Amino acid sequence: QVQLQESGPGLVKPSQTLSLTCTVSGGSIRSGGYYWSWVRQHPGKGLEWIGYIYSSGTTYYNPSLKSRLTISVDTSTNQFSLKVSSVTAADTAVYFCARDDGLGAAEYWGQGTLLTVSS
Amino acid sequence: QSVLTQPPSVSAAPGQKVTISCSGSSSNIGNYYVSWYQQLPGTAPKLLIYDNNKRPSGIPDRFSVSKSGTSATLGITGLQTGDEADYYCGAWDSSLNAVIFGGGTKVSVL
């Protein structure tokens, strides 16, 4: 059974870069066939796709966030990461990592981690 | 404003059926598979339906999808109190080169 677990600081100051990591267990990122995804949810709002990465390192990003995003993968540790630069209060959200088939079908999700942007 | 349009809420009595529509365009639903998710309060989304009408292991056949053109509809039969949740549709969009979600629909069991 594939499991994903997000980890991050919980609190980030405005204008800083937020960094989150997703650790995958029960399956290898290196084996391919799936896209490793980040999705966020603002308090009381709907789902917002951030982007995903394939094991080869190919990335796809939400066009509205692209200029501030970096998603990377480390197959040696079976982790993938998200960096969002120049954060504002609008980036306060629960961030989920997930395994996606590439077309928006994500069967496995992390439990989510709340990231608050505040000074 | 979401690229995929869903009604904000639907409701029905226990045992009845509800349907949730998801309207898109030719750059998403019209040419790509639709997925549906259930999200209970405080939890991660759960994949209910993928590839238009396939269910992951453990998802009952009370959940089904119909698709026509650029729209899809999730149907939930035999409604239970445990079905009270937010439901989202999702798809790939070739114009945006991105995964997109609907705004979500809250299902209430009366």
Whether A61 and B32 lie within 8 Å, measured CB to CB: no
| pLDDT string in tens for chain B (110-residue length) | 778 999 999 999 999 999 999 999 999 999 999 999 999 999 999 999 999 889 999 999 999 999 999 999 999 999 999 999 999 999 999 999 999 999 999 999 99
Phi and psi of A67, rounded to 5°?
-65, -15
Over residues A35-82, the pLDDT tens digits come to: 999 999 999 999 999 999 998 899 999 999 999 999 999 999 999 999
- Residue A57, token pair as written in the block: 């390192």
**Residue B50: strand pairing partners:** B54
Closest CA to A24 of A39, A12, A16, A36: A36
- Residue B63, token pair as written in the block: 């959940």
Q: Which residues of B touch A61 (CB under 8 A)?
A: 98
Q: Which residues of A touch B47 (CB under 8 A)?
A: 105-107
Whether B100 and A104 lie within 8 Å, measured CB to CB: yes
DSSP-derived letter for residue A27 is S
> How many Å apart are CA B25 and CA B8, to the nearest integer?
19
Choose among B47, B99, B100: nearest Cβ to A107: B47
Q: Which residues of B touch A112 (CB under 8 A)?
A: 44
Pick among B99, B101, B105, B106 to test the A interface (most A CBs inside 10 A): B99
